[in-house]
Amino acid sequence: MDIPELQLLSSHRLFDGSQKRYRHRSTSLNCEMNFSIFLPPGVRQEAEIFHGSGGPEGSRTPRPGNSRKAPVIYWLSGLTCTDENFTIKAGAQRVAAELGIVLVMPDTSPRGEGVARASDGAYDLGLGAGFYVNATQEPWSQHYRMYDYIVDELPALVEQCFPVNDKRAICGHSMGGHGALVIALRNPARYRSVSAFSPIVNPITTPWGKKAFSHYLGDDIKNWWGYDATLLVEAARPSEHLPLLIDQGDADEFLAEQLKLERFVSACEAAKYPVQVNLREGYDHSYFFISTFIGNHLRFHAEALDSQ
């Protein structure tokens, strides 16, 4: 099998591991995409093959060497973010290094020349706002297939190019929390655990969700149901239940109108789906909140990833 070519954009050493950023051509999204990856100590590429000078460090295809294979946590960011927000602001690498876990941070939408964007420059549609769905409506359907990218294409690339195993967990924030919950609930066999900070859990009833879904998926609300975590948890089979953790700040300005956490909790209770929910007094929707509790989430996932 051919090894995909990755363009290395940056590389930094921290906590005896490596924080790297790559660009590659995505077949799902029909454009170039960036993603960031943290490789903890003892988990790194032992050799890289150079293919020219497409960026500051050249265009490279990493090949796993003799280092051990590690489990992976995928982090999905929220509206307006790129792959770099979590990398720079969350402070997750210190705990990931201690736990020996790889972190993968994709972008939140396709980007580049020819990729559709909101005509009015809105932050909640188009660039930075892919909502982790497969768009079916023009012009969005030409590029906005973030669901396929996160579920299939990016993990296949990571598992082919880096020394990781097939033990995966997924988490995210806000729109990314929505994406993590939906993807895990629809693909429980692919993940060991799922968690979220301030997730949009019932998007078919919220302004953000209605705007994005009507553009990406059309006006028939039945086509939205497969991307709503509250509806999906109601249909989950007991044999498919995953360890599930949610942290939510009670001072979050979006909690009442956009996030609707109480509806998801009620659905979990009705479906007997076990979920741990922490309502954090005084915390808002920001990365200050995420950085405070990200260590708890990584350790939560580590326990599930260590299980058989």
How many residues does the structure list for the chain?
308
Whether the link from the prior residue into 155 is cis, omega within 30° of 0, is: no
Options 28, 252, 297, 301, the catalytic residue: 252
Whether 174 is catalytic: yes
Tokens of 263: 């509806």
Q: Write out the two tokens for 138.
A: 């023009």
| Residue in 18, 174, 193, 195 annotated catalytic | 174
Q: How far apart are CA 233 and CA 225, in angstroms?
A: 11
Single-letter amino acid, residue 125: L
Q: Supply the DSSP string of 128-168, one letter for each residue.
A: TB-TT-B--STTGGGT-BHHHIIIIIHHHHHHHHSSEEEEE
Pick the catalytic residue from 173, 285, 297, 301.
285
First to last CA, the chain: 29
Query: 243 near 304, Cβ under 8 Å?
Result: yes
Rounded Cα distance, 26 and 223, in Å = 25
Q: How far apart are CA 242 and CA 258, in angstroms?
A: 25
Q: In what order do the strands lie in the sheet with 45-50?
A: 45-50, 59-64, 6-14, 17-26, 31-39, 102-106, 70-76, 164-173, 194-197, 244-249, 276-280
User: Cα separation of 67 and 164, whole Å?
Assistant: 10
Tell me the catalytic residues: 174, 252, 285
